[in-house]
Amino acid sequence: MGQSIESYIKHLVRDAIGHTLGGLELQRDRKTYVIANWKMNKTVNETAEFFQYVKSSKNVSVVVCPSAQLLYPAHLFIKQSGQPIGLGGQNVHWADKGAYTGETSASMLKDVGCEYVIIGHSERRQYAGEDDVLVNKKVKQALKTGLTPIICIGETVDEKNSARTEQVLSTQLFGALKDLHSGDIIIAYEPVWAIGTGQSATAELAQQTHAFIRSVLKQIFGGQADSISILYGGSANENNAADYSGMPDIDGVLVGGASLQAHSFEGIINVFAKGDQNS
Ligand code: PEP
């Protein structure tokens, strides 16, 4: 009824994907997250302004990850706003404390109100030499301290073009989750070629990849894998959020550029709060 061909085809694809995954009755027992990664942006004043305007939603867990020096002011602004918004760091050190100039420990993050921390972002893997061994140490430290790690994985354009996506993701997951027994983690699938480029992965491709990631999580955690939220990240915005929110294995988004403005970030939150608007 008044449905565009594009939307009709999308539904056919979703149905097909649903069947391969065991049927459309798939339920999402997992938490849905919309998480902002502000990277190296914003001043204290801009942070105050953002939290004055942004409205969260009770259907979605909203988390904002500002740079380290903004964490405590952000914590106070969130409290002031009365919004149910979580706070996360963008990085953490693996040691408890000590002579590590310029670093932030997990207990310092907790101390300024963080409940989450991004670990293994591709930008850090590229310029800060973060590899799977280091990611694994940081994930363990985060869990030990009571922070939920948001573990980023993703393939480069060359790896994608040479059909190595699954191999790369599998290696990153087994590396990051080595010797781990708790599935109290969040995975963010962030194809490197989609980050900050405006070339987002199609929702269908992201869904297929998320289903693969879940199959690897099952090998590692067994049944616990069903309760692990897997987020998509890479040029997600208000316009494409509805496509992702309609997919059974996409449990939210990690957003960079489009999280910097309160109105666009809120637009994404609203899409996930309502579910798939194309249905
Ligand atoms: C990111 O860097 O985590 C990210 C998803 O960035 P963007 O949304 O700008 O592609």
Q: What is the pLDDT of residues 221-244, one digit of tens each?
A: 999 999 999 999 999 999 999 999
Label residue 25 by pLDDT band (50, 70, 90).
very low
Dist CA 187 CA 190 (whole Å): 9
Question: In ligand 1, which atom is closest to the CA atom of 195?
Answer: 10
Evaluate the CA torsion angle 223, 255, 153, 92 in order and state its sign.
negative
Check: CB of residue 169 under 8 Å from CB of residue 131.
Answer: no
Check: CB of residue 152 under 8 Å from CB of residue 233.
Answer: yes
Protein residue with its CA nearest to atom 3 in ligand 1: 256
- Tell me which residues have their CB closer than 6 angstroms to ligand 1: 37, 190, 195-196, 233-236, 254-258
Q: Measured in angstroms, how far is the CA atom of residue 25 from the centroid of ligand 1?
A: 31
Dist CA 103 CA 158 (whole Å): 32
- Active-site choice (190, 210, 238, 266): 190
Check: CB of residue 42 under 8 Å from CB of residue 66.
Answer: yes
Q: Does 89 appear as a known binding residue?
A: no
Question: In ligand 1, which atom is closest to the CA atom of 188?
Answer: 3
pTM of this structure: 0.90
Question: In ligand 1, which atom is closest to the CA atom of 237?
Answer: 8
Helix (H, G, I), strand (E, B) or coil at 14: helix
Structure tokens at 225: 């894998």
% pLDDT > 90, the chain? 86
Dist CA 126 CA 60 (whole Å): 31
Q: What is the pLDDT of residues 43-58, one digit of tens each?
A: 999 999 999 999 999 8
Half-sphere exposure of 218 (CA within 13 A, CB side): 8
Q: Measured in angstroms, how far is the CA atom of residue 37 from the centroid of ligand 1?
A: 7
Residues in the chain: 279
Structure tokens at 11: 């539904």
As a dihedral over the C-alpha atoms of residue 93, residue 94, residue 100, residue 105, rounded to 10 degrees, the angle is: 50
121 is catalytic: yes
- What is the structure's pLDDT at 58? 86
Most ligand 1 atoms within 8 A of CB, residue of 35, 37, 126, 232 to mutate: 37
Full set of structural domains in the chain with CATH: 3-9+30-146+156-278 (3.20.20.70)
Q: Measured in angstroms, how far is the CA atom of residue 155 from the centroid of ligand 1?
A: 14
Q: What is the pLDDT of residues 184-214, one digit of tens each?
A: 999 999 999 999 999 999 999 999 999 999 9
- What is the structure's pLDDT at 181? 86
204 is catalytic: no
Label residue 28 by pLDDT band (50, 70, 90).
low
